[in-house]
Structure 1
Amino acid sequence: MTGTVTLLPSNASALERAVAAADARISTTPTPLRDVWNPITCPANLLPWLAFAYAVDEWDETWTTETKRQVISQALEVKRTKGTPGGVQSALAAVGLPARVQEWFQQAPFGAPYTFRVHVEAEQVGFSAAQIAQLRRVVHQYKNTRSHLDGVDITVRTTGGPRPASVALAGVEARVSDGTPTYEDGLSALDFLVDGAVNGYATTADAADQMQTILREMPAKLTIPSDL
């Protein structure tokens, strides 16, 4: 304790002098109490103790540091709404499981009275069995005693979308015919071929010529009675 002002008597013991030396440096010892009690600034190795102080119900050492800080930060708000659908949703969101609670009277058709379902939307990677088990634990911890979980609906959402593209093509259009006769509108004249095969091609051709002649001359010969 050379160079240190002390009030100890000259016959002080070694223990007393050691305590006095430690107390002399107490003012230089950092005491970040505000930082320790703040979930955002608390050292990572002290987060489990802070979670115990905040009475966090669900804790997992495998969580990331960011998730641990989020769970502690929302602990008081979740406690205020515990036993309500909003409380269940907040508790699930705090552990990284955003969900929507739908009670029995909000379902179509109605579910069994005093039951509810949990709808969870997952990314395209989905959920693991451990996460589903954690979801059920959180739900049972934060739901009210009257209500019962009827089921969990998981929707997998993909972030992929359509990719627009364009292709430039150049070519020549070719029309191939098998030699079948066609009408003026391009339709195949298979009915005349069948008729010719049955009745003879000469007879069929004569009948077609006669019909064409009748149709061509019909407007000139058509007379409408004056009494109509």
Structure 2
Amino acid sequence: MTDSATLLPSNASVLERAVAAADARISDTPTPLRDVWNPYTCPANLLPWLAFAYAVDEWDETWSTDIKREVIAQALEVKRTKGTPGGVQRALAAVGLPARVQEWFQQAPFGAPYTFRVHVEAEQVGFTAAQIAQLRRVVHQYKNTRSHLDGVEITVRTTGGPRPASIALAGVDARVSDGTPAYDDGLSALDFLVDGAVNGYDMTAQAADELRLILNEMPSKLTIPTDL
């Protein structure tokens, strides 16, 4: 700060000039008041104080920073609709528990009068006991006095898509014979004979003759044990 920019008299003391120089830079000091009052820009360490200023009913220091900001951001709208099914749903969604409130006359069959149920859907995994307890606290804080919670239904949804896969196999071909006479190419003489008898092929005569000769020779080749 130069002497031409000051309103101090020429006989001002050194202390007075130092104070004037410090005050001249006060406008350069950042004062992010708007940021502090904005839930999405407020420093994380000041969020509990901002939640107190917004009169947030449910607060947990173990929440992530994103959930804390969302709870504060939804505080005014939740309080505006407090005592309605929509207010309960907004309060639960703000703490990371998206749910659907179903009143007794919306159920099939009808539930007990002046009761409601809460349907919560989870992705892949369910909820812990602490989260269920928190859910009940939030519901009781934001429901109307007349209505009573009849139950909580939790649905766990698992999503997945098609997964292509392949497998390689190796093996050998094996041929099992039942002892029926066969030609050199592997064709069974009995199958050939039956096929010819059914279809009336003239070429089966030779096969039948060969098969008859083989069958006639088989008894002479049998060996009967003498010790039986």
Task: Give the shorter-chain TM-score range.
Answer: 0.5 to 0.7
Q: Distance in 2 between matches of 1:27 and 1:157?
A: 55
Q: Which position in structure 1 is the counterpart of 2:126? A: 126
- Residue 203 (structure 1) aligns with: none
Map 1:107-126 → 2, pairs under 5 A: 107-126=107-126
Following TM superposition, the consecutive aligned residue runs of length 4 or more in structure 1 with deviations greater than 4 angstroms are 1-4, 8-12, 16-22, 166-177
- Name the CA distance, whole Å, in 1 between partners of 2:19 and 2:138: 49
Q: Cα 1:113–1:33, aligned 2, differ >3 Å: closer, same or farther?
A: same
**Stretch deviating more after TM superposition (142-151 or 66-75):** 66-75
| C-alpha spacing 1:8/1:143, structure 2 compared with 1 (3 Å) | farther
Deviation digits for residues 130-161 of structure 1 (CA, Å, limit 9, x no counterpart): 11111011101110110011111111112335
Q: Which residue of 1 aligns with 2:91?
A: 91
Q: Measure, in 1, the Cα distance between the counterparts of 2:82 and 2:175.
A: 75
Aligned to 1:189: none
SS of 2:90's equivalent in the other structure is: helix
Contact 1:8 1:17 in 2 (8 A): no
Contact preservation (8 Å) 1:119, 1:153:
yes
**What percent of counterpart residues are identical?**
82
Distance in 2 separating the partners of 1:107 and 1:91: 22
Residues paired across the two proteins, number? 178
For 1:66, the equivalent position in structure 2 comes to 66
SS at match of 2:116: strand
Q: Which residue of 2 aligns with 1:29?
A: 29
Q: Pick closer, same or farther for the CA change 1:37–1:107 going to 2, 3 Å.
A: same
Q: What is aligned with 2:6?
A: 5
Q: Which moved more, 1:135-144 or 1:53-62?
A: 53-62
- Contact kept? 2:8, 2:17, Cα under 8 Å: no
Indicate the residue corresponding to 1:214 in structure 2.
none
Q: Distance in 2 between matches of 1:173 and 1:103?
A: 69
Counterpart in 2 of 1:135?
Answer: 135
* More displaced 10-residue stretch of structure 1: 16-25 or 99-108: 16-25
> Structure 1's 50 and 18: CA in aligned 2 closer, same or farther, altered over 3 A?
farther
Q: CA deviation at 1:90?
A: 0.7
Q: Which amino acid aligns with 1:5?
A: T
Q: Which amino acid aligns with 1:24?
A: A
Is the CA contact 2:81–2:87 (under 8 Å) kept in the aligned structure 1?
Answer: yes
Shift of 1:111: 1.0
1:18-58 deviation digits (Å, cap 9, x = unpaired)? 86565333212111111111111111111111111222111
Of stretches 54-63 and 92-101 in structure 1, the one that deviates more from structure 2 is 54-63
Q: Secondary structure at the match of 2:39?
A: coil
Alignment of 1:37-186 (within 5 A): 37-165=37-165, 167=167
Q: Is the 8 A contact 2:115 2:148 kept in 1?
A: yes
Contact 1:6 1:20 in 2 (8 A): no
Q: In 2, Cα distance between the equivalents of 1:25 and 1:40?
A: 29
| 5+ residue gaps, structure 1 | 185-228
Question: What letter corresponds to residue 112 of structure 2 in structure 1?
Answer: A
